[in-house]
Amino acid sequence: MAIATIKWVRDCARIIDQTKLPNKLEYICCRDVDTMWHAIKRLSVRGAPAIGVAAAFGVLSGIRAFKGQDRGRFVKLVYDTCAYLATSRPTAVNLFNMLARMKAVIARHPQANVDQLNKALHQEAMDIFKEDQKVCRAIGDHGAALIKNGMTALTVCNAGALATVDYGTALGVFYSAQKMGRKFKVFSCETRPLLQGARLTCWELMRAKIDTTLICDNMAATLMRQKKIGIIFAGADRIAANGDAANKIGTYMLAVLAKHHGVPFYIVAPKSTFDLNIKSGAQIPIEERKPEEITHWNGIPAAPRGVKVYNPAFDVTPARLIHGIVTEYGIIRAPYVRNIKNIISRPKETSPGVKVKDL
């Protein structure tokens, strides 16, 4: 079920404030780049594809107040705004890929004046927005082929409508399967420490009337041993050229368990989440977040004051544990180095819409 997670409304980027869910559905209007930077940093807008769109809209917010016709000053503002937004979060490569697209607009228009550049940047941001809508639906339709009637799937974090413009990647698979009339159930890991699974995935799936059961992260092994999980779908924040995939902390643990119990484990992500500049997951920068996310719960201390804390927000699942990567082009299988190169380096014109089933 589509949810308008992020949208350009008149002259501001309107986002759902996901820190308030599931208790309140509130929106924030990002009219300047600072508001957007902080929204990304504190996870009001989160999830790799949504962060990418937020970055593009953040650039529009950053140039909104520019006055005059000095091209040099305008171009400097665009570059400075991109550099600033790039410091908000380090792991999701969509952020950097979309900022690169916004900067490329400048390079493509060497003779354009400020008004023309402004228009071209708006157009690029809207293209990024619309592509996400289209790509997620293509991903969902490809992934839905993996869901058989009666199956129970497991997912982690939130790779849903709330992590994209409006449809989702891993949860998009469920939305497409539902549209196709499949009967299935979903278990959602709560996803410590920020509970994206409990707060966001359960909210979204229940809203869509998908049979959803919440579990604590440490219950996944038991469920797999009891043969209650038929398949696992997780999103990704960055996928290296060899197929290693960074996603929310705890994803790797599920992949190891899945291997042990013979459960197929799939990563679901668009082309914009691939980073072909890095050979393996070892090169993916992993965000470390503040200790209070673990030591406190809703402002209430949940650990002794002064305890040492380690809080990496993501982990890397090695490609050998991944059954397939569901993309807008179809499902990429091993050998990943060759297949990712062939599929993901395709020119833009042959992207979604090309019906390739299993690659």
User: If binding is defined by CB under 6 A, does position 44 make contact with ligand MRU?
Assistant: no
User: If binding is defined by CB under 6 A, does position 351 make contact with ligand MRU?
Assistant: no
User: If binding is defined by CB under 6 A, does position 46 make contact with ligand MRU?
Assistant: yes
Of the residues 53, 202, 240, 313, which one makes contact with ligand MRU according to CB under 6 A = 313
User: If binding is defined by CB under 6 A, does position 5 make contact with ligand MRU?
Assistant: no
User: If binding is defined by CB under 6 A, does position 236 make contact with ligand MRU?
Assistant: yes
Question: What residues have CB less than 8 Å from 32, skipping those under 6 apart?
Answer: 61, 62, 64, 65
Q: What angle do CA 64, 16, 182 make, to 5 degrees?
A: 130
Of the residues 101, 238, 248, 271, which one makes contact with ligand MRU according to CB under 6 A = 248
> How far apart (Å, rounded) are the C-alpha atoms in residues 53 and 228?
36
Catalytic entry in 141, 166, 217, 237: 237
Stretch that binds ligand MRU, among 23-31, 109-117, 231-239, 256-264 (CB under 6 A): 231-239
Identify whether the C-beta of residue 52 lies closer than 8 Å to the C-beta of residue 272: yes
Stretch that binds ligand MRU, among 58-66, 101-109, 233-241, 335-343 (CB under 6 A): 233-241
Strand partners, 8: 13
- String of contacts with ligand MRU for each residue 257-296, x by CB under 6 A: ----------------------------------------
Burial of 300 (0-12, 13-18, 19+ CB in 10 A): exposed
Q: Looking only at residues 314 through 343 of this chain, which bind ligand MRU when binding is defined by CB under 6 A?
A: none
The beta-strand segments (E) located in the chain are 6-9, 12-16, 27-30, 151-155, 184-189, 212-215, 231-234, 238-240, 245-248, 265-268, 274-275, 296-297, 300-301, 314-317, 324-327, 330-332
Active site positions, annotated = 237
**Contacting positions for ligand MRU (CB under 6 A):** 43, 46-49, 92, 157, 159, 163-164, 169, 196, 235-237, 247-248, 313
